[in-house]
Structure 1
Amino acid sequence: MSGEPSKPRSRDAVSAQGDGALPQAKTSTSEDIAAFVSKARATSPHAPGAKGRLIFALDATMSRQPTWDMACALQADMFREAAALGSLDIRLVYYRGFNECRATGWISDSTKLATLMSKIDCRGGDTQIGKVLSEARREAVASGVRAVVFVGDAMEEKVDELCAKAGELGMLKVPVFLFQEGHDAVAEQAFREIARLTGGAWCRFDPGAAAQLRDLLRAAAAYAAGGRDALLRLSKTTSGAAMLIGQMK
């Protein structure tokens, strides 16, 4: 990361639900999987009239500060896109530093989310994508999730373990949209496979390309708020939506 180091920000940014720290993930048994699939079907977020819920996950390790700041500026576009279709709640999940992975409560106001994100600084550390996928699975069962967005540039975990978690999300019909910054080949291979297993999509955006990321975030929000039909309509006018719908099952 170039320039002066970012000014330390308050660590009280994570709202409600304890301190926001996510528990360590555990391996699911076949009985666990059958139980959460049954429960998720009974409370499907895809039912007509259901409120859209989107998990917005970001890599907040040190190299990500420029993209974090860009995401702060663009997140309001997700809410605006969703507002035309109904409503959207967003749960921010991020990881950074040594074994730190946190989640907010559900947020329905773009100003509140922007304020919260502005209090979080990026810190060096390894990726924790497995925890993001585990949190998405838990929320899919507990409260319903229509989609997951992940923005990152690296993958430093065991890909088979990530794929097992992705497969569970696929069974729950929760697509993961992975937006990769840069050209890391290891990350691309893993992200593409997670997208395939969940019925989601993988897209690359160039470093600092706010317009590209804006289109992708708007498209994901349209899907979360209005489903596949909304994404299809948006794909007629924006390249980001067209890229997503072209990959989804």
Structure 2
Amino acid sequence: MPDKSEPRTPQQRQSSGRNGLPVGTGDKSDKQSIEQFIHQVRSLPTGGGGQGRLLFALDATASREATWDQACDLQSELFLATRDLGGLAIQLCYYRGYGEFKATAFVTQTQQLLKLMNGVRCLGGVTQINRVLQHALKETRAQPVKAVVFIGDCCEELVDPLCHSAGELGMLRTPVFMFQEGNDAHTKAVFEQVSKLSGGAYAPFDRSSPQLLKDLLSAVAVYASGGVKALKHFASQSSPEVKRLTGQIR
């Protein structure tokens, strides 16, 4: 279990990979990541049908700007992948700066989400992942949220509160899908625990592999809208890489 004695400083974060992470994990690594992720998602118990509610959360601190721009480019995949399944209602959440946390209204059109995302500028600050999880708890208690997506590269928070919040989301059947940019070991361990306790899944990616992030986002969107059955169908109609990977799943 990661050291939870004290939060990590921005300096520690930088030295452990926030601004100098190796990128370009290669095709084999990308394929393995998709395979593992699809396998985890397919094992989830959520049913499908109707318009799902999905919480799309991102770290908007300073070094995330390039990935934020990439997410803006890929967000339409969330809607495109689910247009025949009843669609999605997506809420954008982000944190940045000095304790700033924002959550928008739920939107159902790609242009609405893109407009919201284009209005955000990344700003230096520490992570606030537990605020994301606590907000997700509030939302799903009011009206079920089918899935939470979080994209980030670092965790500077105490681990136990994160795990507690993730466990509560798991009890409410709101899985959290943790997507890690880079390969910081501490972040990986925390993200894996959060995803496991919530009943979700973890997957790494890097900015040099936009297709991987696209496939991951599409998979979660399909799951949130149509459940495991719809995800299986999506995989069968997806890219050659995903077809090969899902063909190995029993």
Residues 143, 76 of structure 1: alpha-carbon distance in 2 compared, 3 angstrom cutoff = same
Change (3 A) 1:47 1:191: closer
Contact 2:223 2:230 in 1 (8 A): yes
Q: Which residue of 2 aligns with 1:227?
A: 227
> Closer, same or farther in 2 for the Cα pair 1:101/1:198, shift >3 Å?
same
Residue 110 of structure 2 aligns with an amino acid whose one-letter code is S
Unaligned runs of 5+ in 1: 3-45
CA distance in 2 between counterparts of 1:198 and 1:185 reads 20
Larger RCO, structure (CA 8 Å, separation 6 or more) = 2
Flag the 1:179–1:47 CA change in 2: closer, same or farther, 3 A: closer
Contact 2:129 2:162 in 1 (8 A): yes
- Quick check: 1:139 aligned with 2:139? yes
CA deviation vs aligned residue, 1:74-118 (integer Å, no higher than 9, x gap): 101110101121111000000000100100000001001101111
SS in 1 for 2:98: coil
Matched, 1:124 2:124: yes
Between the aligned partners of 1:115 and 1:207, the Cα distance in structure 2 is 22
Q: Which residue of 2 aligns with 1:21?
A: none
> Taking every aligned residue pair, what percent have the same amino acid on both sides?
46
What is the CA-CA distance between 1:119 and the residue it aligns to?
A: 1.1
Question: 1-side partners of 2:97 and 2:215: how far apart?
Answer: 29
Q: Residue type of the partner of 1:104?
A: T
Separation in 2 of the partners of 1:165 and 1:112? 29
AA aligned to 1:115 is K
Query: Is the 2:48–2:225 Cα contact (8 Å) retained in structure 1?
Result: no
1:52 aligns with 2:52: yes
- The aligned counterpart of 1:19 is none
Q: Could you list the runs of 5+ residues in structure 2 that have no partner in the other structure? A: 1-17, 20-45
Instruction: Give the residue type in structure 2 aligned to 1:134.
Output: Q
How many Å apart are 1:49 and its aligned residue?
A: 4.2
Distance 1:240 1:66, change over 3 A: farther
Q: CA deviation at 1:240?
A: 6.3
User: Following the alignment from structure 2 to structure 1, what is the Cα–Cα distance between the partners of residues 175 and 213?
Assistant: 18
CA distance in 1, matches of 2:168, 2:200: 13
Report the counterpart of residue 13 of structure 2 in structure 1.
none
What is the rounded CA distance, in whole Å, between the counterparts of 1:168 and 1:241 in structure 2?
A: 34
Match of 1:82 in 2: 82
Q: Structure 1 234/117 Cα, relative in aligned 2: closer, same or farther at 3 Å?
A: same
Q: Residue 53 of structure 2 aligns to which amino acid in structure 1?
A: R
**Matches of 1:96 and 1:102, distance apart in 2:** 9
Matched positions, count: 203
State the 1:55 CA deviation: 0.2
Q: Distance in 1 between matches of 2:203 and 2:141?
A: 27
CA distance in 2 between counterparts of 1:128 and 1:242 reads 37
Cα deviation, residue 191, structure 1? 0.4
Q: Is the 8 A contact 1:231 1:241 kept in 2?
A: no
Q: For the residues of structure 2 that align with 1:207 and 1:109, how far apart are their CA atoms? A: 25
Question: What secondary structure, in the 3-state scheme, does the structure 2 residue paired with 1:104 have?
Answer: strand
Match of 1:167 in 2: 167
* Alpha-carbon distance in structure 2 between the residues aligned to 1:50 and 1:81: 14
Asked if the contact 1:133/1:166 (under 8 Å) is kept, the reply is yes
**Residue 209 (structure 1) shift:** 2.0
1:17 aligned partner: none
Aligned to 1:102: 102
The alignment's C-alpha RMSD in Å is 2.3
